[in-house]
Each structure stands twice: as structure tokens, then as C-alpha cells.
């Protein structure tokens, strides 16, 4: 199972008001384990960075001026996330509306909404009434976010990956029983659909000695024919 933990930074809150993506960060998980593969890209929003956005992200016009526009990186981004991997996003509706707006502006097909896994919604179901921000969840699970002085897409996606695994019950909620090691496979895809263990070609030899078998038979015989044991011989 391949999932992409993803975060974006933007110039504002609404693409319909002309706001754009300025940074994308993403982390790959396979079978709920980080693979070390990441995607990170700064993007020229082709508009001035509002002061409030600069205060949050620390990304200014001078820094972004020589970065590629979204249309120039769209194909590389789509190749990284793949055609069907789930996208793990905190407050997914926000990032998805910006990603699909940017994709529409450069004439690329939208990302299906059902690919998004919203960790904010998961957190609210698990901890109703508690703060659901990424910082609050890091504190709850003991995830070190001390380097998060400013919002950064790659750092936030790395933190979110740790939080997501905790929300699911820990780094290996299924004890890796469904992963590649369960089948002897080393491929990232893990076991094929419908896989079942085959019967052992040669039965294991019995570990019961002849003396133990005779002692057991004598014990059962002493219980008489009405003994429960005799019904299942």
C-alpha cells in the first residue's frame, strides 16, 4: 500500500481570489513505513506575496522570483504522487482545492477527491473537542516539532507522517503482518492480491515418543469406554 503524505503552502486562503501555491512537500509511505523518498518544490506564484503569508511561511518575492511556475513542475509532481496513491493531508479540503485549481489552470486533470485522507478529520473523531492542529497533535504524540519556527511544506509533511502513524495506532499498527516480510517478497507492493500460504509439502515429523504414546493410550483406557476422549478418536 503506497500513500503520499502531502502539504502545500499558499499565498492566501482562496484560489478563486487569485491566491496560488508557493511550496509543495510530500513524503512517501509504503505499508505505513517511510521509504525515504520525498518531493519538495518551491513555486513562483506569479503574484506578490502578501505580508501575512510571508509572516507564516518566511517566503518572500525575492526568494520565489526565480523558482519555476506550477505549470513547469506539474508533471513531475503528478508522477511522484502517482495515479492512485492515497494522499494523506491535514485539512485536506484546503490543499485539494488549491492543487486542483493549479492543475486546471495548466490544463491537467484534477485529482479525485476520494484519494484524500484527512488527518484532521481522523483526529477529531479520535479526540473530540481537543485541538486538532498539527502542532497540537505533535504535542499529544510526543513528536518533536521544535524546528517548526515557520510553516514549511516538506517539514510539515514529515511531521504529519509521524502523526498519521500515531493516529492509526503506532508506527506498525498491524505489526507488519501484511507487509512484504509476511510473504518473503521484497517488492514495495507487498503481497499480491489473493495470496494464501500453500500447504507444507512434507509434514513435520511427530515429536511424541513411543513411550509417551503408550502411556497416553493406557491413561485413556483407564477412563473407560464412556470417556469423552473416545468420542473423537
Domain count, the chain: 1
Query: From CA 150, how far away is CA 169, in angstroms rounded?
Result: 28
Q: What is the pLDDT along the chain (233 residues), one digit of tens a residue?
A: 999 999 999 999 999 999 999 999 999 999 999 999 999 999 999 999 889 888 777 788 999 999 999 999 999 999 999 999 999 999 999 999 999 999 999 999 999 999 999 999 999 999 999 999 999 999 999 998 887 656 689 999 999 999 999 999 875 544 444 444 333 333 333 444 454 555 556 666 677 788 888 888 888 788 777 777 676 66
40 carries an active-site annotation: no
Does residue 212 belong to any structural domain of this protein?
no
Q: Which of 65, 84, 75, 141 is nearest to 107 (CA)?
A: 75
Query: From CA 61, how far away is CA 10, in angstroms rounded?
Result: 13
C-alpha cell at 212: 509417551
Does residue 9 belong to any structural domain of this protein?
yes
Does residue 191 belong to any structural domain of this protein?
no
Three-state SS for 87?
strand
Contact, 144 vs 124, CB < 8 A? no
Q: Which of 176, 207, 212 is nearest to 191 (CA)?
A: 176
Does residue 124 belong to any structural domain of this protein?
yes
CATH of the domain at 15: 3.30.420.10
Q: Which of 19, 57, 151, 216 is catalytic?
A: 151
Estimate to the nearest angstrom the gap between the alpha carbon of 43 and the chain centroid.
24
Does residue 225 belong to any structural domain of this protein?
no
Contact, 157 vs 27, CB < 8 A? yes
Parent domain of 99 = 2-182
Amino acid at each position: 500500500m503506497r500513500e503520499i503524505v502531502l502539504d502545500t503552502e499558499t499565498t492566501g486562503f482562496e484560489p478563486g481570489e487569485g491566491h496560488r501555491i508557493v511550496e509543495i512537500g510530500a513524503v512517501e509511505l509504503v505499508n505505513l513505513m517511510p521509504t525515504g523518498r520525498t518531493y519538495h518544490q518551491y513555486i513562483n506564484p506569479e503574484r506578490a506575496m502578501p505580508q501575512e503569508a510571508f509572516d507564516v511561511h518566511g517566503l518572500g518575492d525575492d526568494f520565489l522570483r526565480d523558482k519555476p511556475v506550477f505549470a513547469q513542475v506539474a508533471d513531475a509532481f503528478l508522477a511522484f504522487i502517482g495515479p492512485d496513491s492515497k494522499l494523506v493531508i491535514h485539512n485536506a479540503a484546503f490543499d485539494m482545492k488549491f492543487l486542483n485549481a493549479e492543475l486546471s489552470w495548466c490544463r491537467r486533470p484534477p485529482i479525485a477527491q476520494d484519494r484524500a485522507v484527512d488527518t484532521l478529520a481522523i483526529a477529531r473523531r479520535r479526540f473530540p473537542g481537543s485541538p486538532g492542529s498539527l502542532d497540537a497533535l505533535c504535542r499529544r504524540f510526543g513528536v518533536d516539532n521544535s524546528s517548526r519556527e515557520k510553516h514549511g511544506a516538506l517539514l510539515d509533511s514529515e511531521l504529519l507522517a509521524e502523526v498519521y502513524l500515531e493516529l492509526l495506532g503506532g508506527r506498525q499498527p498491524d505489526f507488519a503482518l501484511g507487509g512484504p516480510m509476511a510473504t518473503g517478497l521484497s517488492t514495495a507492493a507487498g503481497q499480491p492480491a489473493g495470496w494464501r500460504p500453500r500447504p507444507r509439502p512434507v509434514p513435520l515429523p511427530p515429536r511424541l515418543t513411543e513411550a509417551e504414546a503408550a502411556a497416553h493410550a493406557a491413561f485413556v483406557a483407564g477412563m473407560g469406554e464412556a470417556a469423552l476422549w473416545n468420542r473423537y478418536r
